[in-house]
A and B are shown apart, each in its own frame.
Chain A
Amino acid sequence: MKIECTVNGQREIIEIEPGETLLEMLRNRLGLTGVKKGCEVGECGACTVLVEDEPVDSCLYLAARVDGKEILTIEGLSQGGKLSKLQQAFIDEGAVQCGFCTPGFILSAHALLKRHPQPTEEEIKQGLAGNLCRCTGYQNIIRAVQKASNE
């Protein structure tokens, strides 16, 4: 089946399989490999992308559902080669280690800051509780989100 959607500001017409997940579509058909796969069953958040500004686990989300919708992946976050505030804050605060969870975290945080430009620590934790990280202990990720929200 054919769907039409906007991915990182670009209009796309894509031929997909009915059972295909958004994760598969983005990685395999559009080559957007910044979308990571940590579990494929909605447990880790590594595959987080934004659909209409809302974070979703793309591994559980059927590609067919994005017909007519707008999608943002990590590849679309930096504008004209310039890193977003969040991306920069992740670097400055040491919130990146292996980097496998990083795209998912940044997108979840991006959506969070859209909803709450000045989140409390508790709101950050709640907003990002669906993203797992085994390397950083989360401490510096919280600092990065705080830093980006203060700028």
Chain B
Amino acid sequence: MKHQYVGKTVPRVDAVSKVTGKARFVADFQMPGMLYGKVLRSPVAHARIKRIDTGKAKALPGVKAVITWEDVPRIPYCTAGHPYPDSSRRDTYILDNKVRFMGDAVAAVAAETREIAEDALKLIEVEYEELPVLVSPEEALAEGAVEIHEGTKNICGQHQFAQGDVEAGFAASDYVLEEEFRTPIITHCSLETHVSLTYLDENDRLVVITSTQVPFNLRRIMSQALEMNMKQIRVIKPHVGGGFGGKAEVVQEPLNAVLTLKTGKPVLLEYTREEEMVAGRTRHSTVIKLKTGVTKEGRMLAQSMKIISNTGAYAGHGHAVVYSIGSHFAVHYPVPHFSFEGISVYTNIPVASAMRSYGASQLNFAMESHMDNLARKLNMDPLEFRRLNAIKEGEKDPMGYFVNNSYGLAECLAKGEELSNWKTKRETFAAAGANQKRKKGIGMACYCYETTAYCGAEEMSAAIIRMNEDGTAVLYLGSAEIGQGNDTVMAQIVAEEVGIGLEDIHVIGVDTDVCPYDIGAYASRQLYMCGMAVKKAAVKCREMIVDFAAQLFDTIPANLEVRQGWICDKLSGNRLITVKETVWKAHYNMDRPRTFVAEAYHGAKCNPLSYGAVFAEVEVDTGTGKVDIIKLWSIHDCGKVVNPQLAEGQVHGGVLMGMGFGLSEQLLIDPQTGRTYNNNLLDYKMATMMDIPELEVAFVETSEPSGAYGNKSLGEPPCISVAPAIRNAVLNATGVEFNEAPLTPERVLLKLKKAVNG
């Protein structure tokens, strides 16, 4: 069927408000009598709070509340924005009598101005009983190490699984390679920090305007942490200035709510950039051991993986990320024998949690680097080595988590090979000689990645469409627009199915008072899950309208259809009446007045894999260690593309994020004290416009049978394979295996020197 809106680039529904500065983000809401919240942060990484004296702070004119652990409900909750039940630990109190990382919350103040709140923080006296600081998982897991959370042995989560007989598989192999890979702490760097505005409405209900990806899960978690029922809490998500997983979490809203409940006033709690980088969230740093057995011909027979993930002071999404890594581990290169062991460890560093690709970036860096190292030992072309071993069309996930009913990996590889001119470059770069100071290289990496959170979490989306009397419509969404274009694609679906214009649709998302439940911007699920819910609701809506039109024209609905905004006679194609006029007539009707309101929900029954590949051409300066990217090719099978411009935008942003992971980004923590060295955007090196490489994006369009329009995931995948592709290109250029990211000039230079000097 030909579509009018789906599959087309249309302007974003929020574009005009964003380019004119009218779009309102949390901090843009001003309330009369609003107070400013501030958090006192721990100057030590691990300590018991022996004494807090807030007397002087409370006495400061303009201070309306000072709260410590003694003023908040003693209810542990899970900060991860999971649906129920929490799949991570409930290990966080709104405030606690113990601090677990440098920057942990100790107390909070609400005051008439920000300056007064800041001054009040300085007047709070705290006596700490310091505890040993554990920065690395090795220290935290050592015999007799002090427990950061009692009764845990510093293990946040742990699991293992195996299939076949992995030892027998290694024994039967001609060649076995065992290696260790390390990935850094990355942070989201959303341009808008974590921020919320809480107040009480005229019925003393708690209203939370917040920058979140998960409004409904946030409401549930707050209702648990504050012992309030859901009717008492209203969560509003306005425009969100970037999320990337960091806002799939309840980071500061319960604390702010307590300030509002204590004062009865609106309170704005806005993290500074420095706070954000320490007390926000990060991507887990990992140590990954991979061991693989292959035949002489390059066929993989057995593989084992052991991962240690540093989750920091609190679980956040904690071990759920390692579960996700485990679920992706066995499906990319299926082998008869495999085993997996994963552990998430508590340490005294900032909290690691969900970040775009949910562990797949770490797994993929290790796996795809390992694949190139293996291919090198086998003297095989790394692309051919992957072709031989990667999941094939129709092949099943050995663990059964994912479905493979739309398969584009082989085509992604072929497209990348062709676009990058792979064969020629592999030959010519290798032949260019060892003596050049600037060495050229080409490398690649590929991935497969989930679409939804199923079956790791309870998946659901829903949507409501309400037709206005004049045939325009309001679309109520529980899914969260956080910049990716969610509201736009959902509106496209309504326009497509109901037969009204895009400009006729107003999207409300998200206000928990009026929108239907949805788990939110989680995984890369919204277009797949909520898109289906919107489609179902829109079809219902159209059917109701057609039904009414049939009565008007004294016919049966089966004889009618909607085309380009018109209700037409199916047989003759004659236009009978516009959709809009039909809706008007239904509302202003003496005999059979009616409304058109449609709700639909969608629960996942499977989790389709998306695929993709990144090819990278680099030049390495062996004098400085600097890696210059000449060009990147980023190719994706996300099923059918619903809005090409938005899809391409996801790839552009994801690629740059992946490049940062590969080359420059890492949060640096002092191993002794747990201090974060680079908690600002100057010293934490995310790419500026000067750093962008030439980039070519291509889509391989398969059709996913379970997607509303053949679509599957795209939001997260573009960041996944970039770092290993660059790393593999550097390997091709220099012959040196870098098994730790990022490839900063210092690291590259040091290792190149070592390689030369032996």
Contact = CB atoms under 8 A, between A and B. Distances in A.
Given A34-B21, A43-B682, 7 more contacts: A32-B21, A33-B27, A34-B20, A98-B192, A132-B189, A135-B191, A138-B689
Contacts of B435: none
Given A33-B24, A34-B22, A46-B191, A83 B16 contact: yes
A44 B191 contact: yes
A78 B656 contact: no
Interface in A31-58: 31-41, 43-44, 46
Interface string A100-133: 1111001000000000000000001110111111
A100 B192 contact: yes
A75 interface: yes
B272 A40 contact: yes
11 contacts: A33-B24, A36-B192, A38-B273, A73-B21, A90-B15, A91-B11, A100-B191, A129-B688, A131-B689, A137-B692, A142-B689
Contact of A134 (B28, B239, B657, B692): B657
A87 B242 contact: no
Task: Please classify the interface of chain A as helix (H, G, I), strand (E, B), loop, or mixed, using the class held by over half of its residues.
Answer: loop
B288 to A, nearest CB: 26
A41 B192 CA distance: 14
Interface string B642-679: 00011011011111110000000000000000000000
A39 B190 contact: no
A81 to B, nearest CB: 9
A102 B680 CA distance: 21
Contact of A132 (B484, B648, B655, B681): B681
B482 A91 contact: no
Nearest to A76: B21
B437 interface: no
Contacts of A15: none
Contacts of B17: 99
Given A98-B240, A100-B191, A137 B653 contact: yes
Interface centre among B189, B484, B649, B680 (most CB of A within 10 A): B649
Given A90-B19, A98-B483, A134 B188 contact: yes
A7 interface: no
A6 interface: no
Contacts of A91: 11-12, 15-16, 19
A136 B653 contact: yes
Interface centre among A39, A75, A132 (most CB of B within 10 A): A39
A41 B277 CA distance: 14
Contacts of A96: 12, 14-15, 18-19
Contact of B20 (A87, A131, A137): A87
Kindly list the 7 A-B residue pairs having the minimum CB-CB distance in the complex, ordered from nearest: A34-B21, A98-B483, A100-B241, A137-B652, A99-B18, A74-B21, A33-B28
A102 B646 contact: no
Nearest to B681: A43
B18 A102 contact: yes
A101 B191 contact: yes
Contacts of A106: 19
Q: Give the contact-size bracket for chain A.
A: 35 or more
Given A43-B273, A91-B12, A129 B652 contact: no
A10 interface: no
Contacts of A38: 191-193, 241, 273
Nearest to A139: B652
Interface string A79-102: 000010001101110101111111
A124 B554 CA distance: 63
A78 B20 contact: yes
Contacts of A138: 652, 656, 687-689, 692
A102 B184 CA distance: 29
A141 interface: yes
Contact of A75 (B21, B485, B648, B652): B21
Contacts of A40: 272-273
B681 A39 contact: yes
Interface centre among A128, A135, A137 (most CB of B within 10 A): A137
A43 B19 contact: no
B648 A94 contact: yes
A100 B242 contact: yes
B690 interface: yes
Nearest to B692: A138
B689 A125 contact: yes
Contacts, number: 165
Contacts of B18: 96, 99, 102
Contacts of B682: 43
A77 interface: yes
Contacts of B689: 124-125, 128-129, 131, 138, 141-142
A36 B191 contact: yes
B688 to A, nearest CB: 5
B25 interface: yes
B349 to A, nearest CB: 22
Given A131-B689, A137-B692, A77 B20 contact: yes
B686 A134 contact: yes
B648 A98 contact: no
B688 A132 contact: yes
Contacts of B123: none
B8 to A, nearest CB: 13
Interface centre among B18, B272, B681 (most CB of A within 10 A): B18
A92 B31 CA distance: 35
Interface string B463-507: 000000000000000000011110000000000000000000000
Nearest to B242: A98
B26 to A, nearest CB: 11
A139 B656 CA distance: 10
A90 B23 CA distance: 15
A32 B30 CA distance: 12
B483 A97 contact: yes
B261 interface: no
B403 interface: no
A73 B19 CA distance: 11
B96 to A, nearest CB: 28
B690 A125 contact: yes
Contacts of A31: 30
B553 to A, nearest CB: 40
B258 to A, nearest CB: 24
Nearest to B276: A39
Contacts of A131: 689
Interface centre among B17, B22, B244 (most CB of A within 10 A): B22
Contacts of A39: 272-273, 680-681
A43 B164 CA distance: 53
B386 to A, nearest CB: 26
B695 interface: yes
Contacts of A75: 20-22
Contacts of A134: 188-191, 242, 244, 653, 657, 686
Contacts of B686: 132, 134
B34 to A, nearest CB: 11
B351 to A, nearest CB: 19
Nearest to B14: A99
Contacts of B692: 125, 137-139
Contacts of B688: 129-130, 132, 138
Interface string B172-196: 0000000000000000111111000
A106 B20 CA distance: 9
Contacts of B695: 137, 139
Interface centre among A28, A37, A78, A90 (most CB of B within 10 A): A37
A98 B239 contact: yes
Given A43-B682, A94-B645, A135 B21 contact: no
